[in-house]
Each structure stands twice: as C-alpha cells, then as structure tokens.
Structure 1
Amino acid sequence: MRDSLSPPARDVGRIAALRRAAAFARAPAFARAPAFAKAEDGSIIVLSIFFLTLMLMIGGIAVDVMRHESTRSRMQGTLDRAVLAAANLSQTKEPDAVVTDYVTKAGMAEYLTGTTVTDNTLNARGVTATAEALIPSFFMQMSGVDSLNATALSAAEEKVTNVEVSLVLDISNSMNDNGRIGNLRTAARDFVDIVLKGANTGAEGAPVISISIVPYTGQVNIGQDLWNTYPNAQYGQSYSYCVDFPASDYSVTTLANSTALVGSGNSEPFASTRDPMTPTFYWCPEPDGSADPRVTAFSDDPEALKAAIDALRPDGSTAIDIGMKWGVTLLDPSTQPSVSALVANGKVSGAFSGRPFAYDEANTMKVIVLMTDGEHVNDEPRLANAVKTGPSDLWLSGSDTDTTRNWSLLLSDGKYYWSRTGTKTNTEPDKTAGNTSCTTQSVCTSWSYWGSCRSWEEKQQCSSSNYSSTATRLTYPELWHRARVGWVASSLYSAAGISGKYNSWVSKLGPSEKNTRTKSVCDAARGRGITVFSVAFEAPSTGQSLLKYCATTSGHYFDVRGLEIRTAFRSIASHISQLRLTQ
C-alpha cells in the first residue's frame, strides 16, 4: 500500500521538471545554452508563422499579377480594335485619330505611347499602335517591387490588291453543243459577281478590280474603239476589227501603241465554190442583232459585264493563240496609251487611268482565265493585204432593193466581163438590174370528165422584169461582206478565164504553228508573273494538253464537264483576298 505521505505518481514527473527548471534558472547563461538547443517546445508555432507569412506574400503577388494582366489584356483588346478600324480603307478619318479615339473612349488614353501608319496608299494601309502602363504593386512592395510594366502592341494591315483580269472565252461553233454556252454564261456571270461583290473599293471609293472579256472564235474582234487607239493600224474596215499577228508578237507580252497593226479583213475565206454566194459567217466575227462578240475592255460594272457575257453567241472556228495574245495584251503596261485614249473618249472609267499597271507595281495581281472546249484543228485562212482594202475590180448593178443584180469584172485589157451574158468584150459594167413580182393565184389541179375543175390549189405566180440601172464599184470590204471568197474566185474570175486567184488571195496557218504560238505567249505571260488559270471544258486531249501547258501550275488547271465549269470559275474567283491581321 502506498505511503499516505508520498505524492501521487502523476505528480512525480511535474515535480522533477520543476526542479530541473529551477536548477536551469540558477545556472550561468553559458551553462544553459546546450540545454536550450536541445529543447523542442514551441517549434510548430514558429513553422506556422513562417508558412503564413509565405502564403500572404504569394497571394499578394498573385493579386498584383492579376491586376497587371487585366490592364494589359484591356489595352491589347482596345489596340486590336483600334488598328483594325484605322486600317480600314473605307475609313474617312486619319488613322492615328481613329486609334486615339478608340483608346480614349476605353479610358486608357494615358497609356497610348505611339501610332505608326505605313503604306497609306490607294489600296493599302498599315497601322501599328503601342501602349504602356505602370501598375503600382500592393503586395510585391514587400519584396522590393514597387510597380509592374504592362505593354501592348497591335498591327493591322488592309491590302486591297489591284486585280486586272482577262477572261479569254471560247465562243466557237462547238460551244452550241451539249448546252455548253449556257453553262459558260452562268459560270462567267458567277465569276463577275464573286470577284466584284464587296471587294472592289479602295481608298476614296476607287475601284481596284478591272475585268476585260476577250471572246474568241477563229479571230478576236477588238471593236472599233480599241482599234482606233492604235494610230498606225492599217487595213481596217468598218464591219469588224481583227488583227493578224506575226509569229514574233507571240514571244512577248508587249504590243506597243505605235505598232502598225495589220487588220485581218472581213470575209468567209474558205475555198469552197458552192452556193450560196453570201457568207454564212465571217472569220472575223461581227455583231449581229443581240449577238456581240467584241472585246469588253477594263470594266468594273457587273451589269455591263454580265450583259456582254449574255451577248456571246457561238460561231466559227477556234483560235486559242489569238485569244490568249489579246488577253495578255490587255494586262501589259504597253497598253496604257490605249486605256488613256479610251478614258478620254468616255469608253472606260477614268478610275482605270494608268492601267494596266507595271508588273512590279505594289499590291497588283494580273490574272488570265483561259477557257476552251476545243483545239486548233482547222487551218487559219489569212486574206492577202492587197485585197483587204481599197477598190476591187468588181461592179454590181442595181441596189439592195433589187431582186436581180448582175456582176461585172474589169479585165486587164480594160473590157468588162458580164456574169449575166458571159461576154468579155463589154466597154462598161453591166447596168441591168431586175425585180421579180409575185402574185398568188388559184390553179386547177384536177378536172372532171365534163370539163369542170374538181380541185384547186393556191400557187404563186412570179414574173421578172429587167431595167437599166446603175453599176457600183465595190470596195474589197464591201465585196467580201457580200460574197464568199471561194465563190468570187470560181464563179466570177474563173468564169472569165482568170485562174489561181484564190491561192493568191488566201494563205493558211496550220494547227501545229498555232499551238506553238499559244505556248510562246503563255511562256511570255509566265515570265512576267501573270497568273494563268486554264479551264478545259469538255475539250479533246490536244486542247487539254495545251491548256495544261499554259496554266501557272497544275493547281491552276481545271478539266471540267457540264456544270462543273461553274465550280471551276467560283474556285478561281475565291483567290481574291483583302484584309489580314499581321500581328
């Protein structure tokens, strides 16, 4: 049993601790140091205070950083919106004023440090803006950081590329097949809408896209307006305006304004001697009623362009080489004098003065869309210069109101051959003309036994009467517009005993040479950086190969059928781009 005078067991430890503490207190300081180092009482409290202080510092830094990032992001967003608005080419205010206005309304005017405007031209504008803000720190001051520096930089650039387009379109007779001409019209109209819609205004509303349409058959009719801009052009006539190019012209893109263009004449130059006398078509196509095959030069009027597309009517042969030559010519700077003349005459908008631009002009793209459904398969007949203009040796009696008109041919001996009589000793042209008058009469076609008519039929009864009129000497353009070359050579000259005329009047250029010329002009275009898209529309293999050769890359070539031509033209149109954020 425990002694009642002894302390409880639980107090023994306390008493011992108190005795040690009293002894420690009475001991000298140097004697107490080792014991203090070994003591562990209160260590958790010290560690807790350390971590609490660290957490407060980290939290404070986070607050300061968030304030910095919030200000920086607001500045960046404001600058982005400001420079995009300032770079817009339709913006009427000064670019730096637009930036300042945006920043001020955002309450950040004091942060804007600078605005730089670059390439402020008709079709391009670049704007760069910078901002900087010092954000006082709340908590980071404890670590010696009094403020944070927030910076923002934004740049925007709008480049409305000057685009010059030549649509070189095949309207040969085969385009009548399989609804091709209708599909082409739809595709070309789509192209015009896509290229011009919402993308055709530069600074101060100036147009930046011009489209020329170059329809071609066996030739290209450039029209009187464009023809007249070449002061040295020769062998012209009033029916149509086509040009015979020498081979050397296909190796270059230029066509100097001083060039003595050689008109092709207006005729149906085939050798066939068959009737009818009147041409069934003209190698150089001419307007006829609602059909108009003439070139449309430098337009940005979508309705006028689409009207020209709707007026295309297929006829004649295929001359890819001539179509491509004119397409390139309308993109070459050597054509500037012609455009200036067209502007002065009110035929082209004054906004296009100075076009075609130089090849190294900034922000300028030159594009040809070359389309065919065929190939060079026919010889190209060329009329001799001697029989293109001036008076011919043929007279025609009467006037256009006469139903009978007679031909006379002036012979080398000064006498006249009359086609009406076949005589060659006449001293003057045949002046005899005639008119045929017709009436409708009831004619009995069946008689009865008793002599009465059982059946009547309405028949036309005609009678001709000749009279002395006048004879008019025809010019060569008048002659070839009235009569086929082969018929004149056979029915008039050969009948008068004069042979070999057709071969002296007409020379021929073969398909192989025309393919070579096409490749040459395509090479010249490629060398000048002209982008060539080519569309083989249900074309034979030779035509496909030629168009593949002309395309800038394989990706610029389209082989299409039916309505696929619409997709091809839409794809080509999509290459026009304008606004880009650069940073």
Structure 2
Amino acid sequence: MSAAWVSGFVSIKRLSRYLIAAGRGLAVEQRGNVLILTAAFLIPLLALIGSGIDIGRVYVARSRIQQACDAASLAGRWAFSQGQATDTATAEALKFFNFNFKQGSFGTASFTPSVTVTGTNTKVVTVSASTTLRLTIMGLFGFRPMTVATTCTAEQNFVNTDIVLVLDTTGSMKDKATSSDTQTKIEGLRAAVLALFDQLAPIQTQLAAAGMRMRFSVVPYSQTVNVGKLIYAVNTGYMRDPAPYRQKVCSSTGWNNNCNGYTYPATSVSHNASWFTNTWNGCIEERQTVSTITASTSAIPAAAYDLDIDRIPDSDTTRWVPYDGDAETANSQEACPQAAKRLQSWARADLVTYLNSLTPDGGTYHDIGMIWGARMISSAGVFADSPATYNSMPTNRFVIFMTDGLLSTNSTLYSAYGMEKYDQRVTGGDLSTQDARHHQRFNLMCSAIKNRGVSIWVVAFASSLDTNLTNCASNAGQASTSANSTDLTTKFVEIGKSIGAMRLTQ
C-alpha cells in the first residue's frame, strides 16, 4: 500500500476519534442532536467505503493494463520472428495494446504506451505504460489521482531445434478425409508439413544467423520403415547377411505331381554387395525381440533389442535384416514406404520433392514408426544425430506423430516382424493378441522417448484418438484430431507456433 493511502487512513482514523469524543461530550451535556451524530458518523463511514471502491478500481485497471502490456510485447516479438521490420513490429505491439486497453477505461487519464526494441539477432521487445486514475470518492477527501504503471518484456530465447516427423503413409492415406475435401489425405499431409515448415522458416533463418540450427527428419511408416540404406551407409556390418526368410516349400504331391500342400520353413538367404546397392529397396525387418510383451508389460525386456533405442549391433541378434519380398515367399502381403530422412536442414524445394514421393501403401503398425522416430531423435545409437548441445547451446527436441487410423496389424502381412502367422515373434502364437501387443510396444516406446526430454505431439487425421495415442503425447493439449485437410494444416501451423513460441521475461 502506498504512503498516500496510509496517510489517508491515519487522517480518517484521527477524524473518527475526534468525532466520537465530540459525540460523547454532546451526550454527557444532553445537548446532542441525533441528526448531528448520524452525520458525523457517516463521514468516516463514507470514507472507508469509498477507499474500498477506489482501491478495487485501481486494482482492476492495473491488471488490465498489465494484460495489454503482455499481449503487446508478445505481438511485437512475434512480428520480428516473421521477418518484419522494427517499425512494423512496433506498430503491431501498439495495436495489440490499444485493442486490449481502451483509452479512458476505468477513469484513467489519456496516455501513450512506449515500445522499445533492443538486440541484433535476438530481438527483445519492451513495452511500458503509465497513467493516472482519478479517485471517485476518496478525491472528496483530498486524495490525488493514483499512478498506474507497468513494464513488460518479451524475447525469443533461441535454442537449437530438432524435429522428427513420424508420418503414416499406409494404404488408407490415398483416400479423402471427407467427401467434401478436394485433396486426398496424402496430399493434405504434404500441404500440412509444408505449412509447418513455412511457419518455422523465419526462426530457422534467425537460428542460422546466431550460429544455431533447426533440422527436420521424416520417418514414413506402414508395416515397416525404410531406414536400411541409412544404416548400411553408417556401417555395412549393421545389416544381417545371410538372414532367414520364410519360403514356400511343397510338402507333398499328388499323382500328377501337382503340389498338394506347402510348408514355410525359415531359409537362410545371402545377398551380395550389388544387391544391397542396386536391388534392395531399403526397408528392414527389426532385430531380435521377445514374445513376452503383453498389454500389462511396464518395462522393456532386456532381450527386446527392437525396442533398445541406442544399442549398437554386435551380433546377429542385434543386427537388422534386409526386407526382401523376393526371398520371403510365404504368400505374404508386402509394403515398403519411402526412404526415411535423417535430421538435416532443408531447402523448401527439396522438401516439396521429397513429400511428393510419399506413396500410400501397407498396414498400420504405429510401433515401428515410433521406434525409428526415437532412433532419429536420439543423441546416441546408430545415428546419434541429436546431441544435447550444438555450438555450446542446448537443443530442444520434438517428435510429431501423425496417423490417419488406429493401429491395425495382420498375421499374413510381411512386416518389420516377419510374417507373424509363421514367425510369431510378437505373439508367440497367440494371434488374437497381436494388436494389443503392438499397442504396448508403441506405449513403451512413447514413454522411453518422453523420458529423454523429447516433446511428443500426436495428430489423428480423419480418425479418433484412442487411449494409446492420447497417452503418447507429452500432455493432453498435444494430442488432437483433424477432421479434414484444412484442419490438419491448421493443426500443424499451431504446432509450429508452439515450437517457435516467445515467452515473457518480465
């Protein structure tokens, strides 16, 4: 409370004592008048009530000016992040201030807020405002108008930023989200990713100017992922060769030598260097896992090397197997998405070309997508692409997971886990639990990523969010649905704004 208010209250207290003493004197002398006494006591009572009213007005005015100041500084700083000049950013800040606090509100005197900008690469916007508020009732007792002032500062604290996009490119992405959409879902996804890139482009430029970086990785997924040639480029010994594949073998023949039955034994197949370089599409089968993971499993088993994010291959059980549809002849359904991309800085034209190459096909195995999202964003492991710091500055890390459907597996698909009907790597033979077991692998991987300080966003496109998808996100606000292509673009822009958000520093 200000000295003026304290002084005022002391004066009122003295006045009250004087009037009470005078009233007692009147009563003793029996010459008092009820009307006089009532009037005497009304004066301090009015002063006390009036002080409460005026203090309330001052409090509300100060709060509203503070809110306007915060909004103005953030708006000005955001204008800079979009590449605007100082004059434009200043005008934007003033516009937001005046929108949130009208001149004359709550009886304040007319004033003009000031906006100052400091810094070269890292702009800091400071907004200051000061005015006076005329006291309605306490003014009758000689109190002068009170000063209401505030100062607020907004800046964008630049840090290195790594973003991994784990994108569902399964067969249903060739459809439209709604009949009214002009684009298929894969076309809508391309537009949304570009909108995210464009939203963050000014910040990417400013980071580069400050000696830092913003990078993107893309992991398209279906029933497997296409990361094999990335692994092979790091170390050819990380791929297992020879490797076992299920092959269709005639088990019996009839009188005319036609085959009456088949078996599908695991048969060792070797590949030469030319096959790896020229023939192989790059998709992989995951390394050794265990079939003991169920819906209630709470920790990753030690022998589940497929879920070990950072383990460097040192034996056949820890190496990846080339996905080879020619070798896997057990009447399985194949699908291999577009090759994934490691963390890198992108030119927009290159990103457009890459996104246009994404082709919908295959089943929906969320776990394999998130497993490789984890490996791409990891600071260790086979790629070790995302160190905690770069140029002595920290790195913020994000995974954006987009799917157009709930997890859906099939025992006859040739997936990253072979052909489950015969290989039984995930279910151990209980095929009825296949989806539930893959769900839990997905859940375990989401938890492992978040435990590393990585922020996860989950977007369901033309689909609902189940508990697994919702819980995968870092918080409830980072799990959402998009009903159509326009909504998806809007959501990706919102994510971009959050990743590049400013903060108030005062």
* 3-state secondary structure, aligned to 1:521: helix
Q: Is this contact kept in 1: 2:461–2:482, CA < 8 A?
A: yes
- Compute the displacement of 1:155 (Å): 9.0
Q: Is this contact kept in 1: 2:375–2:383, CA < 8 A?
A: no
- Equivalences for residues 54-93 of structure 1 within 5 A: none
**Cα 1:545/1:161, change in 2 over 3 Å:** same
1:313 paired with 2:237, answer no
The separation in 2 between residues aligned to 1:243 and 1:521, in whole angstroms, is: 17
Aligned to 1:254: 310
Instruction: Work out which of the residue numbers 464, 467, 490 in structure 2 matches 1:545.
Output: 467
Aligned to 1:378: 410
Aligned to 1:173: 171
* 3-state secondary structure, aligned to 1:202: helix
Give the counterpart letter for 1:224 in structure 2: K
1:228 paired with 2:233, answer yes
- Equivalences for residues 129-144 of structure 1 within 5 A: none
**Cα 1:356/1:245, change in 2 over 3 Å:** farther
Listed one character per residue, the Cα deviations across residues 302-349 of structure 1 (whole Å, up to 9, x for unaligned) are 2222221111010111121011011111111114x636xxxxxxxxxx
1:184 paired with 2:168, answer no
Give ranges in structure 1 of 5+ residues lacking alignment.
Answer: 1-79, 91-119, 127-152, 274-280, 286-292, 340-353, 389-484, 486-501
Instruction: Work out which of the residue numbers 195, 198, 201 in structure 2 matches 1:196.
Output: 201
Aligned to 2:286: 244
1:567 paired with 2:506, answer no
Give the counterpart letter for 2:377 in structure 1: L
**Cα 1:358/1:243, change in 2 over 3 Å:** farther
Aligned to 1:526: 450
**Cα 1:257/1:124, change in 2 over 3 Å:** farther
- Compute the displacement of 1:580 (Å): 5.6
The separation in 2 between residues aligned to 1:545 and 1:338, in whole angstroms, is: 31
- Aligned sequence identity (%): 23
Instruction: Work out which of the residue numbers 215, 219, 238 in structure 1 matches 2:220.
Output: 215
Q: Is this contact kept in 2: 1:381–1:508, CA < 8 A?
A: no
Q: Is this contact kept in 2: 1:250–1:518, CA < 8 A?
A: no
- Compute the displacement of 1:213 (Å): 0.4
- Equivalences for residues 510-525 of structure 1 within 5 A: 510-525=434-449
1:295 paired with 2:340, answer yes
Q: Is this contact kept in 1: 2:161–2:214, CA < 8 A?
A: yes
* 3-state secondary structure, aligned to 1:355: coil
Q: Is this contact kept in 1: 2:285–2:416, CA < 8 A?
A: no
Q: Is this contact kept in 2: 1:230–1:261, CA < 8 A?
A: no
The separation in 1 between residues aligned to 2:416 and 2:341, in whole angstroms, is: 28
The separation in 1 between residues aligned to 2:421 and 2:410, in whole angstroms, is: 17
- Compute the displacement of 1:546 (Å): 2.3
The separation in 1 between residues aligned to 2:449 and 2:224, in whole angstroms, is: 20
- Compute the displacement of 1:210 (Å): 0.6
Aligned to 1:326: 372
**Cα 1:282/1:504, change in 2 over 3 Å:** closer
Aligned to 1:63: none
Q: Is this contact kept in 1: 2:399–2:456, CA < 8 A?
A: yes
Instruction: Work out which of the residue numbers 155, 159, 162 in structure 1 matches 2:160.
Output: 162
Aligned to 1:21: none
**Cα 1:246/1:506, change in 2 over 3 Å:** closer
The root-mean-square deviation of aligned C-alpha atoms, in Å, is 4.2
- Equivalences for residues 330-345 of structure 1 within 5 A: 330-335=376-381, 338=383
**Cα 1:197/1:508, change in 2 over 3 Å:** same
- Compute the displacement of 1:250 (Å): 5.8
Q: Is this contact kept in 2: 1:223–1:295, CA < 8 A?
A: no
Q: Is this contact kept in 2: 1:382–1:508, CA < 8 A?
A: no
* 3-state secondary structure, aligned to 1:369: strand
Give the counterpart letter for 1:254 in structure 2: D
- Compute the displacement of 1:271 (Å): 4.7
Aligned to 1:355: 386
Q: Is this contact kept in 2: 1:270–1:381, CA < 8 A?
A: no
* 3-state secondary structure, aligned to 1:535: strand
* 3-state secondary structure, aligned to 2:237: coil
Q: Is this contact kept in 2: 1:376–1:515, CA < 8 A?
A: no
Q: Is this contact kept in 1: 2:228–2:322, CA < 8 A?
A: no
Give the counterpart letter for 2:383 in structure 1: S
Give ranges in structure 2 of 5+ residues lacking alignment.
Answer: 1-72, 84-119, 125-150, 177-183, 242-275, 290-303, 428-433
* 3-state secondary structure, aligned to 1:378: coil
Q: Is this contact kept in 2: 1:251–1:523, CA < 8 A?
A: no
Give the counterpart letter for 1:333 in structure 2: S
- Compute the displacement of 1:382 (Å): 5.8
- Equivalences for residues 487-502 of structure 1 within 5 A: none
* 3-state secondary structure, aligned to 1:191: helix
Structure label with greater radius of gyration: 1
* 3-state secondary structure, aligned to 1:376: coil
Instruction: Work out which of the residue numbers 400, 403, 412 in structure 2 matches 1:369.
Output: 400
* 3-state secondary structure, aligned to 1:333: coil
- Compute the displacement of 1:528 (Å): 1.4
The separation in 1 between residues aligned to 2:452 and 2:324, in whole angstroms, is: 33
Q: TM-score, normalised by structure 2?
A: 0.50
Aligned to 2:476: 554
Q: Is this contact kept in 2: 1:333–1:358, CA < 8 A?
A: no
Q: Is this contact kept in 2: 1:230–1:257, CA < 8 A?
A: no
Give the counterpart letter for 1:299 in structure 2: Q
Higher relative contact order (CA 8 A, sep 6+): 2
Q: Is this contact kept in 2: 1:253–1:328, CA < 8 A?
A: yes
Aligned to 2:336: 284
Give the counterpart letter for 2:319 in structure 1: L
Instruction: Work out which of the residue numbers 321, 324, 327 in structure 2 matches 1:266.
Output: 324
Listed one character per residue, the Cα deviations across residues 57-101 of structure 1 (whole Å, up to 9, x for unaligned) are xxxxxxxxxxxxxxxxxxxxxxx9xxx9xxx9x9xxxxxxxxxxx
The separation in 2 between residues aligned to 1:189 and 1:154, in whole angstroms, is: 34
